[in-house]
Amino acid sequence: MAEFLSQLAFLSAIIHYSIATDTLNPNQSLQDGQTLVSAKETFALGFFSPGRSKNRYLGIWYNKLEGQPIVWVANRRSPLPSTNGSLKLNGNGILTINSMIFLPMPSVTLTNPVAQLLDDGNFVLREANSSEATWQSFDYPTDTLLSGMKLGWDLRTGLNRNLTAWRSIHDPSPGSYALSLDLKGIPQIILWSGSAKKWRSGPWNGITFSNIGERPRVSGIHFGLVSNKDEVYYMYNTTGTNVVGHAIVDQSGMLKDFVWSESTGLWNLFLYYPKSECEEYSKCGPYGVCDINVWPICSCLQGFTPKSLQEWLFKNASSGCKRVRALDCKNRSDGFMTITLAALPDTSNTILYANISLNECRGKCLKNCSCTAYANANISGAGIGCIIWVTELIDLRISSQARQDVFVRLAAADLAVFTRKSSNKNEAESVVLSIVFSIMALIISLICFCSWRKKRMAHKASIIYQLEKDIRGDDELELKQLQWSTLMEATSNFAETNILGKGGFGLVYKGKLANGHEIAVKRLSRNSTQGVDEFKNEVTFIARLQHRNLVRLLGYCIRGDEKILVYEYMANGSLDAFLFDKEKGVHFDWQTRFHIIVGIARGLLYLHQDSRLRIIHRDLKASNILLDGEMNPKISDFGLARNFGEHEMMTKTRKIVGTYGYMAPEYALDGVFSVKSDVFSFGVLILEIIIGQRNRVFLSQPHLYLLGKTWSLWNEGKVLDLLDPLIRNSFSETQVMRCINIGLLCVQEKPEDRPIISSVVVMLANDDAQLAEPKAPGFNAIFSTEHDLASNQADLHTFNTVTLTEQQTGR
C-alpha cells in the first residue's frame, strides 16, 4: 500500500490553474500549470512531475481524491525537461505537445474538432457537433484500467489495448510488467514479465475467469468478456453507481484492484494477483499440480513422475513431470482421471468446441491422438461447450476458488492403478485403524503398570521433545529461537510488575531487549495440556502469515517444559480494555472504532482467502484484538485456529473450544464450524465496538443478550438508543447504522445467510454497496439460570452443552 500511495503523489513546483473548462478548441493550447477539469470535476488533465523526477509529463489524474492518483500518461516515452510544455489542438484535429505528435492520431481529417476530458477519465477527440469520438485516450492505456476502458483487441484495426507498469514511482516510462488479453487458443488475461508469463486469469467460463473465481459482488458493478468478429476485450463498468475504483499493474509485477471508500476517505486494496506461489505461472512445470495447502506444494499427477528427481529434491519443480506409460491412441484403451476444484491449465494451445456436451467432448478427445485433457468451457448453466488440450498441461493448480473439473487422459494401466487405489482406500483405512487400535490397547495396558506421576512426566517430556523437533525441522519457519537468559533479562525475571495480561493458557509479560526493542512475552502455563497445542498452532500459523492486521511473532523459546512465544509489543493493549473500561474509552471516538472494524475485517479476509494457509480463527473476540501505538488493530491468539483445506466447506468437532458469547450457534450446539463461524464472531465484535457492552452483559430486559436487544431495537427503529454514550457527539449516523446492519447480517442464525468476509470488506469500504435486510440473529434467546451465572464468569474455553429456550422477539 505504501508503494501505491507513493506512486499516487506527484510533485510539481508549478501551481495548477483550471482553465474553467473540460474542452480544448482548435488552435487553443493548454500550458504547463493549467488544467482541464471534467464536467463533474472527477478528473483533471495537465502537466506533472512524478515522485522525485524533474521531468514533465502530460497526464490525467483523479481531481479530488486522496493522493490524486495518475491514471494516464500521454508522453511516457518522451518526457519534457522543463516546465515550458504546451498541449495544442490544431485545426485538423491533431494533438501535439510542443509541436510533437505523442500518440497515433486519427487518420481522418476533422473539420471542426474539439478535445474533451470526460467524467470517466477518457480524453477524446471528436467533431464539435458529434458525440462520437474519432480518437480517445482509452485506446492507449498506461498502467491503469478504469471503468468503461477496454482491455483487449480491436480485430478490425489490430489495436491491442494493454497495461504496462511504470518503470518506477519516479519514472512512468514502460517497465518490465504488462497485462494483456492473449488471443492464442482461448482468450485469457496474461500478466507478463518481459516475454515470460508471470500470472494468468484462465479462460472466461461464462461467470468469471476460471482461475480467479467469483469476485465479491458490489451493487451496480458489471464486468465480463466480449468476443465477436470485430472485438475481443474485457471491461468492467460502474455507470450509475457511486463506486470509484481502478485496476493497476505496479512496478513489483502485481495486478491490484483499488476501491475508493467515501466513508474513510482512503483507497482500499480490494483484490490482487498473484496471491500465492501456486498462482505464479508454471510453478510446478508440465503435468505438475500445485496445491498451496500441502507441502511440498508441487506434485506430479497420478500416472506421471518427475522429469528431474534431483531438481525436485532441491525444491525446483519447474521441469515438471513425464508420463509413466505412453498413451495408446491406436486401440483407444485410454481413460480419464478427474481432477476436482482445478484452476484450468494454460489454454494457449487448446481447441474450443462451443456447442457440444461434455460426453461428446470425451469422445473427441479419445479420437484425437494429441489430446491430453478436456474440461467444460461454460459453467454458467446457460450454455454448453468444452475445451480440449492438445499439448502438455501447464500451470495446473488446486484452488477453492475454482469451480471446474479437468479430465486428464491416462493410459489404461495407470488408470487401473488409480482406480484400485481409490477402491482400496476404505479397506486400507480399516486395516490402519485396526492396527492403531491394537497398538493403543497395548500401550494403555503397559501404562497402567506405571505410576500416574511418571506417566504424566514422560508424556509431557515426549510432547516437548517432539514439539521442539518439529519446529527446528520445519524449513519453512524462519523463526528465531531466543535464549532463556535473554527473556529472563528482558522481563526482569518475569516480574509481576511486567505482567500485561492473563489468558486461558498463561501470562503475558512486557519485555525489553538489550537493543531497546520492546516485546510481549507469552509464557504458557506449565500445567496446561492445551498449552502445547496452542503453542504449536501459534508457531505453525503465525510464523507463516504476514499481514498488517495480524500480530507478528518474533520468536520462541523452549526450555524443559517451559514454552514461550515472543511477539511485537502492542502499545495500546487489547481492544476490550478500551471498549469496556469507560475511563480508557473517553478518547475512543467513532472514527477510531470504524478504523478498527475495517482493520479486523481485512485481517480476517487475509486469513480466510488471501493467505497461503486458509485459517479459521475460532476465538475472535475483543481481548484477542491488540492495538498498536496508532490504534491499528491486529488479530492475535491463534491457539485454537484451524487450517482449512481449499476443498473443505465446513467440518464438525466433538471438542468445542472458544469463548462464550462469540460462538456461532451451529458451532456451540453441534460442533459445526466454517469461515461463517468467524463471520459470526466478527458481527458480535462490530456490535460490541458500537455499543460498548459485552455480548454476555444483560441490558434492560431480564436475561436478554446484546444481540437480542440490538435486534429488538433494530425492528423498532430505535437501535441508536444503544450507542455507546462516549461517541454520541462524534459519530456519523449513516455510517453507524450501516455498520449495525452489517453486524446483524454477520450474526444471522443460519450460516448460509451470513455474508463471506470479502463481501463484508466491500460493504464497509463502499457506501454504495447495497445491504440486505438482516434476519434474526443466532442466540436471540433467553438462557437458563445456570448459564446466566456462567455468563458472568471469565472467558470459557471449553464446553460441550448449552441449554437455551427460544425467544420470539423479532422473528
Q: What is the 3-state secondary structure (H, E, C) of 425-494?
A: HHHHHHHHHHHHHHHHHHHHHHHCCCCHHHHHHHHHHHHHHHHHHHHHHCCCCCCEECCHHHHHHHCCCC
Task: State the average pLDDT over residues 539-552.
Answer: 80
Query: How much is the pLDDT for 788?
Result: 33
Is pLDDT above 70 for 330?
Answer: yes
Q: What is the DSSP letter of 776?
A: P
**Which grid cell sits at 342?**
482445478
User: Which of the pair, 501 or 401, is modelled with greater confidence?
Assistant: 501
Is pLDDT above 70 for 808?
Answer: no
Distance (Å) of CA 399 to CA 300, 395, 405, 542, 600: 16, 12, 11, 22, 25
Task: State the average pLDDT over residues 451-469.
Answer: 51
**What is the CATH number assigned to the segment(s) 1-140?**
2.90.10.10
Architecture in CATH for domain 575-806: Orthogonal Bundle (1.10)
Categorize the per-residue pLDDT at 418 as very low, low, confident or very high, splitting at 50, 70 and 90.
Answer: low
Is pLDDT above 50 for 809?
Answer: no
For the chain, which residues make up each domain, given as ranges? 1-140, 153-275, 279-423, 458-568, 575-806
Q: What is the DSSP letter of 80?
A: B
Residue 807: HSE in the Cβ half-sphere, 13 Å Cα cutoff: 22
Query: How much is the pLDDT for 445?
Result: 57
Categorize the per-residue pLDDT at 671 as very low, low, confident or very high, splitting at 50, 70 and 90.
Answer: confident
Query: How much is the pLDDT for 653?
Result: 61
Categorize the per-residue pLDDT at 796 as very low, low, confident or very high, splitting at 50, 70 and 90.
Answer: very low
CA–CA gap between residue 50 and residue 80 (Å, rounded): 12
CA–CA gap between residue 409 and residue 419 (Å, rounded): 14
CB 602 within 8 A of CB 550: no
**Nearest CA-CA partner of 193 in 184, 180, 206:** 180
Is pLDDT above 90 for 704?
Answer: no
Task: State the average pLDDT over residues 568-584.
Answer: 85
Task: State the average pLDDT over residues 63-75.
Answer: 91
Categorize the per-residue pLDDT at 441 as very low, low, confident or very high, splitting at 50, 70 and 90.
Answer: low
Indicate the residue type of 550.
L
CB 710 within 8 A of CB 716: no
Of 26-30, 313-317, 434-438, the range with the lowest mean pLDDT is 434-438
Mean of pLDDT over the chain: 81
Is pLDDT above 80 for 571?
Answer: yes
Is pLDDT above 60 for 810?
Answer: no
For a pLDDT cut of 70, what percent of the chain falls above it? Answer: 79
User: Which of the pair, 16 or 675, is modelled with greater confidence?
Assistant: 675
Distance (Å) of CA 182 to CA 151, 191, 349, 393: 10, 10, 12, 18
Categorize the per-residue pLDDT at 425 as very low, low, confident or very high, splitting at 50, 70 and 90.
Answer: very low
Categorize the per-residue pLDDT at 150 as very low, low, confident or very high, splitting at 50, 70 and 90.
Answer: very high
Given 619, 637, 678, 724, which residue is catalytic? 619
Of 264-278, 404-418, 697-711, the range with the lowest mean pLDDT is 697-711
Task: State the average pLDDT over residues 724-738.
Answer: 87
Of 34-43, 695-704, 726-735, 755-764, the range with the lowest mean pLDDT is 695-704
Task: State the average pLDDT over residues 346-369.
Answer: 91
Instruction: Find which of 171-180, 313-322, 492-501 is predicted with most confidence, using mean pLDDT.
Output: 171-180
Query: How much is the pLDDT for 779?
Result: 67
Is pLDDT above 90 for 693?
Answer: no
Task: State the average pLDDT over residues 657-670.
Answer: 80
**Which grid cell sits at 418?**
488409480
Q: CATH homologous superfamily of domain 458-568?
A: Phosphorylase Kinase; domain 1 (3.30.200.20)
177 three-state secondary structure: strand
CB 521 within 8 A of CB 566: yes
Is pLDDT above 70 for 316?
Answer: yes
- The 10 Å Cβ neighbour count of residue 239 is 10
Dihedral over alpha carbons 658, 663, 665, 666 (to 10 degrees) = -50
Q: What are phi and psi of 251, to 5 degrees?
A: -70, -15
**Which grid cell sits at 727?**
461517541
Query: How much is the pLDDT for 781?
Result: 40
Task: State the average pLDDT over residues 529-543.
Answer: 67
CA–CA gap between residue 764 and residue 738 (Å, rounded): 8
Q: What are phi and psi of 708, to 5 degrees?
A: -65, -40
755 three-state secondary structure: coil
Query: How much is the pLDDT for 713?
Result: 92
Task: State the average pLDDT over residues 743-767.
Answer: 92
Query: How much is the pLDDT for 416?
Result: 75
Query: How much is the pLDDT for 657?
Result: 67
The number of angstroms, rounded, from the C-alpha of 336 to the middle of its chain's C-alpha atoms is: 34
**Nearest CA-CA partner of 414 in 326, 322, 306, 307:** 326
Categorize the per-residue pLDDT at 26 as very low, low, confident or very high, splitting at 50, 70 and 90.
Answer: very high
CA–CA gap between residue 661 and residue 429 (Å, rounded): 39
Query: How much is the pLDDT for 98?
Result: 93
Is pLDDT above 60 for 15?
Answer: no
CA–CA gap between residue 23 and residue 740 (Å, rounded): 45
**Nearest CA-CA partner of 519 in 528, 509, 529, 530:** 509
Categorize the per-residue pLDDT at 48 as very low, low, confident or very high, splitting at 50, 70 and 90.
Answer: very high
Categorize the per-residue pLDDT at 696 as very low, low, confident or very high, splitting at 50, 70 and 90.
Answer: low
Q: Is the overall model pTM greater than 0.75, yes or no?
A: no
Query: How much is the pLDDT for 782?
Result: 35
CA–CA gap between residue 678 and residue 615 (Å, rounded): 10
6 three-state secondary structure: helix
DSSP string, 323-349: ESS---TTTT--EEEEEEEEEPPP-TT
Task: State the average pLDDT over residues 267-280.
Answer: 84
What is the per-residue pLDDT across 209-252, written as a single tens digit (0 to 9) for each? Answer: 888 866 655 556 778 899 999 999 999 888 767 778 899 999 98
Q: Is 619 a catalytic residue?
A: yes
| Strands (E) located in 118-265 | 123-127, 133-136, 144-146, 151-154, 159-161, 163-168, 171-182, 188-193, 196-203, 222-227, 231-237, 244-249, 255-261
Cα torsion angle, 94, 99, 100, 102, sign: negative
Indicate the residue type of 599.
G
Query: How much is the pLDDT for 793?
Result: 32
Of 59-68, 71-80, 663-672, 692-701, the range with the lowest mean pLDDT is 692-701
Is pLDDT above 70 for 800?
Answer: no
